[in-house]
Amino acid sequence: MTDSIKYLLDERRIPSTWYNLVADLPTPPPPVLHPGTLKPVGPDDLAPLFPMALILQEVTGAREVEIPRPVRDIYRQWRPSPLFRARRLERVLETPARIYYKYEGVSPAGSHKPNTAVAQAFYNKEAGTKRITTETGAGQWGSALAYAGALFGIEVQVFMVRVSYQQKPYRRALMETYGARCTPSPSSETQSGRAILAQQADHPGSLGIAISEAVEVAASRDDTKYALGSVLNHVLLHQTVIGQEAMAQMEMADDSPDILVGCTGGGSNFSGLVFPFLGSQLRRGKKYRIVAVEPAACPSLTRGKYAYDFGDTGHLTPLTKMHTLGSTFIPPGFHAGGLRYHGMAPLVSHLKELGLIEAVAYHQTACFEAGVTFARAEGIVPAPEANHAVKGAIDEALRCKRDGVSRAILFNLCGHGHFDMQAYADYFSGRLVDQPYDEQALAAALSALPAVA
């Protein structure tokens, strides 16, 4: 056996459908509410922002949703993505655990995000959309949508959180290479942005603010729609190609995971890996331990409140029930920008409430330490976000060592860190610090949650 075994599925085994966990849940997640009437939103309420095909996917109860042929044809460029056994990492840790990882960094944009960006651009093209606006944190989502826009001839405008815009100039250059326009947020191009800048001219920005700006532009123009890279049901749905492939690949490896690990910002890469496994568990299959790993500086699942809240800071979105730190909470500017979101996907939050998943939070320096250990053993440099999953998997492997048991751990290595080397440089020079969030600011943001009976 070689050190690292790579399981590539036959290209014909790219899934032909996305898997919808809602069909197998014991209870459905709470409805999305209109912020004015507090009544459940209907498809027409969302029509200014999204094409109808995606709105219907947002609310469907069907177990399987067919992946359109043109989307599958594009997926073939990098799917099936490889699944590796991390034998060298196992040796370094001296663990009896079997560690596997699904690697999504092989996509053109370097993360799992193109799995949904391509699908969203396809449905927008079908609906006649000329322009799509969006937000991006670290830049992975923005570059994935920029790439998808280039494939389908759709103009893309990306509002990029200002602190990331400054930290990651090459992500911006990548978006521009694909033909997108990248605007630092808060910007003076929208009312939401101008309102924030009036309070604080050097505001670092947040995903919540950038979402407000992108939604505002999309809502004000007929030929323009909005796209979200995480959180929503249809985004999580598109990511389930990851877990479906992983199930087949684990079978090819003649093994089966006991523990599943993913990092959570809005919850999409985590859901993409775990939903197909969890679905089989709910249909009376094997039971898995499922661990969501989040940053201690923005701990929505472990410290947030399960409540109805806005998805954005400017309060232009509907209300969703989720684990939230409050839509006005501004997390400190740590390096895993993709995890700096105040809320969690409603479906993931629902699973936490049902006790079907666990959550842990880690500080960023511990995550970078894990990422460096991983890179030195396996060669791949993980994205700062992915380092949280690496840290979670390593801790599980060390627990196996302590307990003297051999379990199979599968985690999602959701992206590479080639555009994040400044963060690694900062880590090596000791400039990367663990910034705690402001407890008072959190309390204030939580006390400002909308009142929903």
Ligand X SMILES: *Cc1c(COP(=O)(O)O)cnc(C)c1O
Kindly list the residues in this chain that would bind ligand X in the complex (CB under 6 A): 111, 113, 140-141, 230, 263-270, 338-339, 383, 385-386, 414-415
Question: Which residue is associated with the tokens 């073939």?
Answer: 76
Whether 358 and 289 have beta carbons less than 8 Å apart is answered as yes
CB 295 to ligand X: min, Å: 10
CB 65 to ligand X: min, Å: 19
CB 247 to ligand X: min, Å: 19
> For residues 97, 303, 416 and 414, what is the CA-based torsion angle, rounded to 10 degrees?
70
Q: Please say which residue, 93 or 386, places its beta carbon nearer to ligand X.
A: 386
Q: List, in sequence order, every residue forming a beta bridge with 410; answer none if it has no partner.
A: 100, 260
Q: Which amino acid would we find at residue 245?
A: E
CB 227 to ligand X: min, Å: 13
Q: Please say which residue, 118 or 414, places its beta carbon nearer to ligand X.
A: 414
CB 359 to ligand X: min, Å: 12
Residues 6+ positions from 21 with CB-CB distance below 8 Å: 236, 240, 271, 275, 278, 279, 347
> For residues 252, 76, 274 and 30, what is the CA-based torsion angle, rounded to 10 degrees?
-150
CB 17 to ligand X: min, Å: 21
CB 418 to ligand X: min, Å: 11
CA distance 401 to 397: 6
**If we measure between CA atoms, which residue out of 284, 301, 331, 272 comes closest to residue 107?**
272
Go through 359-374 and write b for each residue having 16 or more CB atoms within 10 A of its CB, e for each that does not.
Answer: bbbbbbebbbbbbbbb
Q: Please say which residue, 41 or 292, places its beta carbon nearer to ligand X.
A: 292
Q: Please say which residue, 98 or 342, places its beta carbon nearer to ligand X.
A: 342
Determine the Cα angle at 267 with ends 262 and 268, to 5°.
Answer: 90
CA distance 106 to 2: 21
CB 417 to ligand X: min, Å: 9
Whether 409 and 261 have beta carbons less than 8 Å apart is answered as yes
CA distance 209 to 410: 34
Pure H helices in 308-420: 346-353, 364-378, 384-403
| Number of neighbouring beta carbons within 10 Å of residue 197 | 15
Question: Which residue is associated with the tokens 């599925």?
Answer: 9
Q: Please say which residue, 90 or 294, places its beta carbon nearer to ligand X.
A: 294
CB 309 to ligand X: min, Å: 17
